[in-house]
Amino acid sequence: MEIQNNILHGPPITEVPNISLGQHLFNCLHSNADQIMQVDIQTGKHYTCKDILEKSTILSVALRNYGIKVEDRISVAAENHPHYVVSICSTLFIGATFAPLNPAYTEREFTHMLEIYQPRVLFVSRRTENILAKIASTVSWNMKLIELDDEPLDGNIITLDKVLEKYQSVTDPYASSTVQIDNNRKRMAAILCSSGTTGLPKGVMLSHRNLLLFIQNLSAPGTMDIRRGDRILVFLPLFHGYAFGMMNTAISCGAVIYIMRNFELETLLSSVEKYRITHIPLVPPVLVGLAKHPMVPNCDFSSVREIVSGAAPLSPDVANEVKQRTKLRAIRNGYGMTELSILSNMSDRTSNDNSIGPILPGFKCKVVNVETGETLVARKIGEVCFTGDQVMLGYFKNPRTTAETIDKENWLHTGDLGYFDEEGSLYITGRIKEVIKYKGFQVSPSEIEAVILSHPSVKDVAVVGKPDKLSGEIPMALVVRQPEKTISAKEIADFANENLSPQKWLRGGVKFVEHIPKTTTGKIIRRELINITTKL
């Protein structure tokens, strides 16, 4: 780590070869064929690297037969299903772009993202099949649905098992079916959703090289130190960059993923003991649970080498309480964003404050004055900006927002406020961005506002993040009624929640106000909303 002219310089990268992420994953699965790669905690079923490789290779042949080409999009909308990894690998094997979706999306949200991605194939589960089959019948392009579960709800939708059965006889599962790409710096490997600052979610384009460098940085001894045979517990949703990155890293390192389909703290605790888990990637709300749950002091955490918290700020008090209750020496604080290929910083194992540590190899970082753009010195708070090898390609089909996020000198503006100290450790103090951080999810206030404004009894609305110890922030709506309308707070909340996925629900409630503070151009003055909410 060096500081030159108030710019932090991470260590140089170790260059990765110019191959696709799919080729890399194929090579790793092939070389570790007899090793267990995944365990489904719900059923206890084990899957070896050979199992995953065979199924992924057969499915990749099927996808090619469907006419899928390099950078065509393939999506999955499902919970943490044991077949999820097969959809990832087969997509990447043929150079297509993996574009996962949140299975909790509403019909409106699915429609919006599908219109952007226009995937040729969409993997569903029984949880999402009905809503996506309905949407699929209305789209303007040819989109094939494949059911990950053993039995579809609709007999006309083919299951993954049937696809594998159909193509098994014509596929050599040990022959490389991967597609060579011309330039892994410029070719998309994945599009991951990010809310950004306004509107509906946006698709973050990550290149093959972006993700290969992420894997290299995450698995390094100074970061998560992931080794062959390590056992990683993943309950985080696989559509999220955090868990998607962990899955790819586990394959790369020969580690085992213990997958939870749905999160339950008691299941997490029992699995740590049963499977002798070595790594647990967490988010702050789960750490709050570990700080309070009565089972924790009696749980054996002696196998755990790393607990890493990411996706939202972690309170040092919570971290210290969990360390005391689990007898672990360190809980690491990770920082990043989808636009930075998931991770840019990791606190060291001896840190006892709220530092997010130094930047990873391949990055540069500076803190700038929000008003003037001037590069600031140590311990001065401003906007945190990054440039380097893990910065995204841009937002898919959205050059305007890309240009608003990455400036002409290729610095990505995070929207987060922070400072660095004389040793080069970074501290995050707040956000310029308007997003609400609910349990690690980025929630756009303007998206919720648009839904509420569509109600005929609402004249105006502003949505704010209400502080919450368990969740970080919860959305709360300030609503101006239409004259002579008597709609209740419950009616508004029910209306919004019916049209939004769970992380966007109005858990902070609805408060009625006389007016919403705005600029002369009609933009909500969000800093004044804080004063309003404190008086309510």
Question: pLDDT tens digits for 179-202?
Answer: 888 899 999 999 998 865 445 678
- At 441 the pLDDT is 84
393 plus 329 within the same structural domain: yes
Q: Which domain holds residue 300?
A: 2-11+220-431
In a domain, 165, yes or no: yes
138-152, 277-291, 498-512: range with lowest mean pLDDT: 277-291
Does 310 share its domain with 389? yes
For the whole model, what pTM was predicted?
0.85
Residues 361 and 440 in one domain: no
Q: Mark whether 313 and 169 lie in a shared domain.
A: no
* Residue-level pLDDT at 197: 44
Residue 91 is predicted with a pLDDT of: 97
**pLDDT bracket for residue 176 (50, 70, 90):** low
Q: Within a domain: residue 364?
A: yes
What does the pLDDT look like over 198-218, one tens digit per residue? 456 789 999 999 999 999 999
Nearest Cα neighbor of 95 from 15, 170, 150, 23 is: 23
Residue 385 shares a structural domain with residue 468? no
- CATH number at 456 reads 3.30.300.30
Angle at 240 between CA 26 and CA 407, to 5 degrees: 100
User: Does 366 fall in a domain?
Assistant: yes
Q: Please indicate, yes or no, if residue 210 is contained in any of the structural domains.
A: no
In this structure, are 144 and 266 located in the same domain? Answer: no
Question: Would 511 be classed as within a structural domain?
Answer: yes
Residue 187 lies in a domain: no
Q: What is the mean pLDDT of residues 298-323?
A: 87
Q: Which of 409, 431, 453 is the last residue of a domain?
A: 431
Shared domain check, 516 and 389:
no
Question: What is the CATH classification number for the domain harbouring 330?
Answer: 3.40.50.12780
Are 91 and 125 within one domain? yes
What integer pLDDT is reported at residue 319 of this predicted model?
87
Q: State yes or no: pLDDT of 54 exceeds 50.
A: yes
Task: Taking residues 259-264, report their average pLDDT.
Answer: 92
**Same domain assignment for residues 426 and 460:** no
Give the residue with greater pLDDT, 130 vs 1: 130
Q: Provide the number of structural domains found in the chain.
A: 3
Quick one: pLDDT band at residue 232, thresholds 50, 70, 90?
very high
Q: Do 77 and 101 touch, CB atoms closer than 8 A?
A: yes
Q: Is residue 525 part of a domain?
A: yes
Mean pLDDT of 115-142: 96
User: What's the rounded mean pLDDT across residues 4-23?
Assistant: 95
- Written as one string, the DSSP assignment of 446-475 is HHHHHHHHTSTTEEEEEEEEEEETTTEEEE
- My answer on whether 97 and 237 are in the same domain is no
pLDDT > 70: percent of the chain? 96
State which of 180, 210, 228 marks the end of a domain. 180
Q: For residue 276, is pLDDT > 80?
A: yes
Task: Indicate the residue among 156, 180, 204 that finishes a domain.
Answer: 180
What are residue 122's phi and psi, to 5 degrees? -130, 115
pLDDT reported for residue 230 = 97
- pLDDT for the residue numbered 350: 83
Q: How confident is the model at residue 289 (pLDDT cuts 50, 70, 90)?
A: confident
Residue 174 lies in a domain: yes
Query: pLDDT class for 171, splitting at 50, 70, 90?
Result: low
pLDDT, one tens digit per residue, over 44-53 is 999 999 999 9
Q: Is residue 532 a contact partner of residue 518, using CB atoms and an 8 Å limit?
A: no
Contact 54, 168 (CB under 8 A): no
Same-domain status, 108 and 175: yes
Residue 139, SS3 per DSSP: coil
The CATH number for 75's domain is 3.40.50.980
* pLDDT (average), residues 316-331: 88
Residue 401 pLDDT exceeds 80: yes
Q: Are 88 and 46 part of one and the same domain?
A: yes
In the chain, the amino acid numbered 130 is N
